[in-house]
Amino acid sequence: MLITDIETIILRLPVVEMIADGTQDGLIVLVHTDEGITGIGEVDASPEVIRAVIDAPASHALSSGLRELLIGQDPMCVRRLWDTMYRGSIFFGRRGPAVMAMSGIDIALWDIVGKVTNRPVHEALGGAYRKKIRAYASTLMPDTPKEAAAEASRWAEAGFRAVKLGWGGFAIACDGGVALMRAIREAVGDKVDILLDIGFNWEPSSAIEYARRLEEYHPFWIEEPFWPDDKTAYAHLADAIDTRVAAGEEETTRWAFRELIDQGHVDVVQPDVSRAGGFTEVQRIAELAAMAGLPCVPHAWSTGILKAATAHMNAAIPNALFMEFCVWKGPLNDELTEPRIWIDGNGDVEIPTGPGLGVTLRDDVVDRYRVHA
């Protein structure tokens, strides 16, 4: 079997708001083969930027768009093809958009491997460590304590045993952030874990004091308090407080995660399967984390393609902890794929068992939001 083409489809809602909601557009990656099997992947990044990485013609042996590197290759040789893409894009790549584009292709290649072998992706990756995983509802932080309490309660009542609120309302000073946290804890009680995503909003100089005031209400983790590059600030905070510090959704490749772990001293790593390097690389990142005694909780805030991919990833790594489950309302998050992935009565997500990713695209939804070049 040979790869014959790599197709990208850009989806976009009619109105894009400047909020931290990554489900307002999407890039679907389709890897076609000469045997009629097509793999589905996606990249959660700027779709037109990623498309350019895939479509660009070759400049020379170390600077090529990804399609030219893969046409005529065997799609079953996923790990070797990862190196082919990494090496062939190394002049402009190594991190960022090039690796994100590789991630979407890697997801599609593993979907092909699963479809060819008639096994779910997690089996193709080496087998399931679990059949289901506890999900945390992932949503944006409202602006007021009253709204924050209502948002958290809504997802706790829907059956989630953990809720993460982030960005949005956290763009405020310490007293306001503590008031949001207090209202959420009072609303959901002690049985629901509360995760906080700070969205880069903290000043390193006052972060420890801020975190200690939040700790009174037992946050499960504090995510991304600082710019991803400020590893010193991460280490300073993580060393000082008891609460877990989580980060990693902007990082790409195992080398970046090694720095995050060694220099940032984080307690939880969050590679996004559609950005950090696909299944192939996130499996290696999870291993790196495991060697440091850390859990790996893949970031996921996009369409049902990434939801399925993240469920398989969580099944296939020993040090999984939670599945990030984006509950933000939007058609690309809710409607693009079928069957629908949702929690069971215990707040867990069952890992899909069909061949490959185990989800198919809904053509009507693709047609409705497709951006024609």
What is the rounded distance in angstroms from the CA atom of residue 130 to the CA atom of residue 351? Answer: 8
| Rounded least distance, CB 300 to Mg ion, Å | 10
Task: Map the footprint of Mg ion across residues 194-213, applying CB under 5 A.
Answer: 197
Contacts of 312 (CB under 8 A, 6+ apart): 120, 121, 122, 125, 279, 351, 352, 357, 358
| Residue 202 phi, psi (nearest 5) | -95, 150
What is the rounded distance in angstroms from the CA atom of residue 95 to the CA atom of residue 289? Answer: 19
Q: CB-wise, 82 or 167, nearer to Mg ion?
A: 167
Contact 342, 334 (CB under 8 A): no
Beta bridge partners of 350: 132
Binding part of the chain for Mg ion, among 119-127, 189-197, 233-241, 319-327 by CB under 5 A, reads 189-197
Let me know how long the chain is.
373
Instruction: Tell whether residue 21 is a contact of Mg ion (CB under 5 A).
Output: no
Binding part of the chain for Mg ion, among 22-30, 44-52, 192-200, 277-285 by CB under 5 A, reads 192-200
| Rounded least distance, CB 146 to Mg ion, Å | 24
Contact 165, 196 (CB under 8 A): yes
Q: CB-wise, 111 or 197, nearer to Mg ion?
A: 197
Q: CB-wise, 26 or 114, nearer to Mg ion?
A: 26
Instruction: Tell whether residue 106 is a contact of Mg ion (CB under 5 A).
Output: no
Q: CB-wise, 149 or 268, nearer to Mg ion?
A: 268
Supply 2's token pair.
């040979």
| Rounded least distance, CB 62 to Mg ion, Å | 33
- The CA distances from residue 75 to 57, 199, 295, in Å, are 20, 37, 30
Q: Which residue is nearest to Mg ion (CB)?
A: 197
Supply 270's token pair.
């969050």
What is the rounded distance in angstroms from the CA atom of residue 245 to the CA atom of residue 204? Answer: 14
| Rounded least distance, CB 250 to Mg ion, Å | 9
| Rounded least distance, CB 303 to Mg ion, Å | 17
SS3 category, 162: strand
Q: How many residues bind Mg ion (CB under 5 A)?
A: 1
What is the rounded distance in angstroms from the CA atom of residue 24 to the CA atom of residue 44? Answer: 10
Binding part of the chain for Mg ion, among 14-22, 48-56, 193-201, 305-313 by CB under 5 A, reads 193-201
| Rounded least distance, CB 286 to Mg ion, Å | 18
| Rounded least distance, CB 171 to Mg ion, Å | 14
Q: CB-wise, 44 or 197, nearer to Mg ion?
A: 197
Binding part of the chain for Mg ion, among 118-126, 176-184, 191-199, 254-262 by CB under 5 A, reads 191-199
Q: Exposed e or buried b for every residue in 243-259, given b needs 16+ CB within 10 A?
A: bbbbbbbbbbbbebbee
Q: Residues interacting with Mg ion, by CB under 5 A?
A: 197
